[in-house]
Structure 1
Amino acid sequence: MSHESTYVPKSALAKWFESRLPIAGMVHSSFIAYPVPRNLNYFWTFGAILSFMLIAQIVTGVFLAMHYVSDSKLAFESVESIMRDVNYGWLLRYLHANGASMFFIAVYIHIFRGMYYGSYKAPREILWILGVVIFVLMMATAFMGYVLPWGQMSFWGATVITNLFSAIPVVGDTIVSLLWGGYSVGNPTLNRFFALHYLLPFMIAGVVGLHVWALHVVGQNNPAGIPIKTAKDAVPFTPYATIKDLFATVLFMMFFAWFVFYLPNYLGHSDNYIPADPAVTPAHIVPEWYFLPFYAILRAIPDKLGGVLAMGGAIVVLAFLPWLDTSRVRSAAYRPLYRQFFWIFVIVCLLLGWLGAKPAEGGYVIASQICTALYFAYFLVVLPLLGLFETPKPLPTSILESVTKAKGGSGIPAGAAAAPSTKG
């Protein structure tokens, strides 16, 4: 399917501008006439939801930065001042703090959707790797942002996590010193984290641009996991995908607003409303909920270096998923055995998240070790072998056929067949 622009400027000014900077043509070809598979379900709307959340986080973050003071003696008070003295400061802070959780909820659904439908398979390897890079940048941004309120959990979370780098041979202590800006977590650390927390979202936006570019080069995957072959397999991005994206984003905003207005502190930790005190260690140091699965993997390994390598490996292994999965069939809809292993993997991830919030003692540690072994076995054992032995179901010959079989009709939206030129 061709992706060339069919945009034709109407006015003389539009023609003059388009001949010098073809922004309108690029927008038209990428977000209006761009052909998308006609069988996309609502799991494909999370890309738009994530774009909305990124913009919301950047906008609220910029306004919060206008009032925040990155000084270890004043940071906690400045956050309280934002809540009490700044007009709608409480709203900005709750939107930003809960927005981080909403961002991770959406990105985890986005990742699991990609894994279920095989969106990482050729020719989408670079697209998938860019997604993993975005995920890593998100984690770094969220961790540094959690430190900024300079409460008890912020301070001790920063102390525990930054200390992990000391386990790296040769360069570990140097990395820790660079992060701290001294010999312990303190004012230089806070200044570094504030600067990086402000910078990284713009880096994320840049990588998201590459991610969208790569998506438009190779085209979208779909629930059937088969490519667009004819004009009837696709519909224009606008209005079919845009209306669905808008509807899903509005529903997600309602879910987001429920936390902001009714449960603003539910996803946080009460200890962060206590000013940071280096002399008092919290009884149970835990990161934010979206880090808990990886925190459980870290604590499952008794050796410090081994734990750091396992935690890092749990993220890095995602980037190699296109080559670890040996099956030629993309979608789990046609892979009955893979589908069972996938849901077991999802349960394991949820269990790791639960275990990460528990004390590192007794049966919790043993359960974490079992789940960690199952997590890596999924990538390193199950996926490579499953593709060799699994017998998938017969694939439909086209996307249109998959739609008509599912709906028992033509599956053609009214007016879609009358606009073949918009699909290339």
Structure 2
Amino acid sequence: MSTDVKKSWLASRLPCPAKETGNCAPTLERGAPYLARLPALITGAALLLLASGFVLAVYYNPDHGFASIQFIARNVNSGWLIQGFHATGATMLFAAVYLLLFRDIYRRAYTAPGELVWLLRVKLFALLLLVGWLGYALSDGAVAYWSLTDAANAATGLGGAAGVVGRWFFGGPNGAGTLARLEVFHAVLALAVLGTLGAHRCATRALARQAKPKHPVSCHPYYTAQTFAAFAVFALIFAVLMFFAPHYGLNPLNRAAADSLIIPAVLSPPWYLAPVSAVASVFSTTLGSIFGVIAMLAVLAALPWLDRSSPAGKRGLVYRLLMGLLLLDVIGLGWSVSDPACTISGSLTVFFTIWYFFHFLVLTPLVTALEAK
């Protein structure tokens, strides 16, 4: 692909704001579903997490991570509320991102000219996974302590360039110095998430300008009212989780203080990290686990080129059936690492991982090519 072609491809999908003239609000199609407001909900949740995280960072002490979190919840004015906002906000943010990705795959929204929007969403998902794990490690609970210990020991024990990066990132074995470093990375990567959301916003606006709606309506007041309704439902679910199920999807053993001499019986991560953790656990080596996670995200990013259907092609029955199986597969991945007492969970994790890659690398090109005929 020549330089001029690359520039035209990028310019048509992410135009410079300086080139835009006239009304900055694109004309949209009437009757768009409420799930189309998911990017706005994700942005709102990210801003809430950034604001609450800034307050928590003021009081967080990496020398005594777990104790400082207890101090925030018990002694800081409204500290329990801010901590609840942050924890529940992470749950809601990841739920919205997972729903957005599944909706895009089902609708084939990644096909031309939506490739750049899809790539930015996959990048956002990857950044959120890393930011989420860093926040989980900073909790310094009994489970998070051993998750960080295993990761730090494995990374710093690598040889060559990978070992240099691991020692630079973690700073050595798990301890106060490691938590201090991770706190900085957590904040920096959170700002990178906001930058990605900004680029995603620009790309989606460019995509909306290219569309030619049959029944056009202006963004305001038609879709501002719809966005307000979506935020109201989002806030209601947020409030129910925060006040009635603040620890939903989290390992209850992580609410205990860490002990370097005691390994918890269940080392399952938060629900939003569980599918990725399951794929990483299939590989026996550290480099293998890293490769597995990168490959898991890479097949998502490659979907615009794995899909052989035309942009206007309809979803056939077989494709919809495969999407249901993919949903069950991801749920199975999360369950397999959250229930280690099950004797067959290890075999199921391998099976679900193989099916994940088989779905995207084999079934998706095959089924979309057949349905395009």
CA distance in 2, matches of 1:291, 1:28: 43
Instruction: Describe the superposition over 1:134-158 as per-residue Cα deviations: whole angstroms up to 9, x where unpaired.
Output: 1111111111111122221121111
Please tell me the residue identity of whatever aligns with 1:229: K
CA distance in 1, matches of 2:21, 2:262: 55
Q: 2:4 corresponds to which residue?
A: none
Q: 1:64 corresponds to which residue?
A: 56
For the 8 Å contact 1:329–1:335, the answer to whether it is kept is no
Please tell me the residue identity of whatever aligns with 2:235: M
Q: Which of 211, 229, 234 pairs up with 2:212?
A: 229
Q: Kindly indicate whether residue 373 of structure 2 is the aligned counterpart of residue 381 of structure 1.
A: no
Q: 2:236 corresponds to which residue?
A: 254
Q: Kindly indicate whether residue 70 of structure 2 is the aligned counterpart of residue 89 of structure 1.
A: no
CA distance in 1, matches of 2:372, 2:294: 33
Structure 1: gaps spanning 5 or more residues: 1-21, 221-226, 393-424
Corresponding residue SS for 2:258: coil
Q: Which of 237, 243, 258 pairs up with 2:225?
A: 243
Instruction: Describe the superposition over 1:276-324 as per-residue Cα deviations: whole angstroms up to 9, x where unpaired.
Output: 2222221221211111112222223445543432222111211111101
Q: Kindly indicate whether residue 38 of structure 2 is the aligned counterpart of residue 46 of structure 1.
A: yes
CA distance in 2, matches of 1:94, 1:205: 21
Q: Kindly indicate whether residue 188 of structure 2 is the aligned counterpart of residue 199 of structure 1.
A: yes
CA distance in 2, matches of 1:59, 1:28: 33
Q: 1:181 corresponds to which residue?
A: 171
Q: 1:163 to 1:46 in 2, by over 3 A?
A: farther
Q: Kindly indicate whether residue 278 of structure 2 is the aligned counterpart of residue 296 of structure 1.
A: yes
CA distance in 2, matches of 1:234, 1:331: 22
Q: 1:79 corresponds to which residue?
A: 69
Q: 1:372 corresponds to which residue?
A: 353
Please tell me the residue identity of whatever aligns with 1:40: A
Please tell me the residue identity of whatever aligns with 1:384: P
Q: Which of 265, 278, 281 pairs up with 1:283?
A: 265
Q: 1:160 corresponds to which residue?
A: 150
Q: 1:391 to 1:324 in 2, by over 3 A?
A: closer
Please tell me the residue identity of whatever aligns with 1:84: R
Q: 2:254 corresponds to which residue?
A: 272
CA RMSD of aligned residues (A): 2.4
Offset of residue 329 of structure 1: 4.2
CA distance in 1, matches of 2:295, 2:150: 19
Q: 1:277 to 1:28 in 2, by over 3 A?
A: farther
Corresponding residue SS for 1:171: helix
**Corresponding pairs, count:** 357
For the 8 Å contact 2:156–2:170, the answer to whether it is kept is no
For the 8 Å contact 2:158–2:166, the answer to whether it is kept is no
Q: 1:238 to 1:284 in 2, by over 3 A?
A: same
Q: Which of 339, 350, 355 pairs up with 2:320?
A: 339
Offset of residue 229 of structure 1: 3.2
| Mapping for residues 87-126 of structure 1, pairs under 5 Å | 87-126=77-116
Please tell me the residue identity of whatever aligns with 2:171: G
Q: 1:402 corresponds to which residue?
A: none
Q: TM-score, normalised by structure 1?
A: 0.78
Q: Which of 311, 323, 331 pairs up with 2:305?
A: 323
CA distance in 1, matches of 2:286, 2:29: 47
Report which stretch shifted further, 280-289 or 307-316.
307-316
For the 8 Å contact 2:308–2:372, the answer to whether it is kept is no
Q: Which of 325, 341, 344 pairs up with 1:363?
A: 344
Offset of residue 337 of structure 1: 2.1
For the 8 Å contact 1:118–1:330, the answer to whether it is kept is no
| Identity fraction in percent | 31
Offset of residue 64 of structure 1: 1.3
Offset of residue 360 of structure 1: 8.0
Q: 1:247 to 1:28 in 2, by over 3 A?
A: farther
Q: 2:161 corresponds to which residue?
A: 171
CA distance in 2, matches of 1:391, 1:128: 21
Please tell me the residue identity of whatever aligns with 1:194: E
Offset of residue 59 of structure 1: 0.9
CA distance in 2, matches of 1:42, 1:247: 9
Instruction: Describe the superposition over 1:359-381 as per-residue Cα deviations: whole angstroms up to 9, x where unpaired.
Output: 28742121111111111111100
Q: Could you say which structure has the greater relative contact order, defined with CA pairs below 8 angstroms and 6 or more residues apart?
A: 1
Structure with more of its chain in helix, by fraction? 2
Structure 2: gaps spanning 5 or more residues: 1-16
Please tell me the residue identity of whatever aligns with 2:248: Y
| Mapping for residues 307-322 of structure 1, pairs under 5 Å | 307-322=289-304
Report which stretch shifted further, 39-48 or 316-325.
39-48
CA distance in 2, matches of 1:331, 1:43: 21
Report which stretch shifted further, 105-114 or 120-129.
120-129
CA distance in 1, matches of 2:45, 2:93: 6
